[in-house]
């Protein structure tokens, strides 16, 4: 199901905080993710007991399939990037409609990583 033009904002040039990475396209805040692929927890992060957050900018095509993506923030740096790079092309988003026609748009999502619970852990 497509979401309406009301969810689209004008593109904004500049930094990573709610600003357009792929300039010239509408920016959708909270675009519905229709499929998020599995994000396996990195062995190194688990070994170190690290949590993390990765913010990804997606250029979403008229069909809801990512055309491009870019990691725009990663904390801690690089620890979760390989997992995100492997999974990002498999994300799917709700298509957007602008002026009654399918539209490409940009959206940013935040992926939070928490260590898996070990059996017997409280």
More reliable by pLDDT, 24 or 120: 24
Residue 10 pLDDT exceeds 50: no
Closest CA to 102 of 59, 67, 64: 64
Measured between alpha carbons, how far is 83 from 99 in angstroms, rounded to an integer? 36
Are residues 120 and 92 in contact, defined by beta-carbon separation less than 8 angstroms?
no
Distance CA 41, CA 81 (A): 11
Q: What b-and-e string marks burial along 31-69, b requiring 16 or more CB atoms within 10 Å of the CB? A: bbeeeeeebeebeebeeeebebebbbbbbbbbebebeeb
pLDDT more than 70, % of the chain: 80
Q: Is the Cβ–Cβ distance between 103 and 7 less than 8 Å?
A: no
What is the pairing mode between strands 33-35 and 92-93?
antiparallel
pLDDT at 12 over 70: no
CA atoms within 13 A on the CB side of 70: 7
pTM of the model: 0.83
Residue 15 scores a pLDDT above 90: no
- 47 has a pLDDT exceeding 50: yes
Give the pLDDT confidence score for residue 3 in this predicted structure: 62
């Amino acid at each position: 199901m497509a979401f309406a033009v009301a969810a689209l904002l004008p593109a904004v040039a500049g930094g990573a905080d709610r600003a357009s990475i792929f300039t010239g396209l509408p920016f959708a805040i909270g675009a519905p993710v229709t499929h998020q692929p599995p994000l396996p927890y990195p062995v190194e992060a688990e070994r170190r007991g690290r949590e993390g957050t990765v913010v990804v900018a997606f250029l979403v095509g008229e069909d809801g399939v990512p055309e491009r993506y870019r990691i725009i923030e990663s904390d801690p740096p690089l620890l979760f990037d390989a997992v995100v790079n492997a999974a990002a092309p498999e994300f799917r988003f709700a298509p957007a409609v602008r002026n009654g026609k399918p539209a490409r748009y940009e959206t940013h999502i935040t992926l939070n990583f928490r260590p898996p619970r070990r059996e017997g852990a409280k």
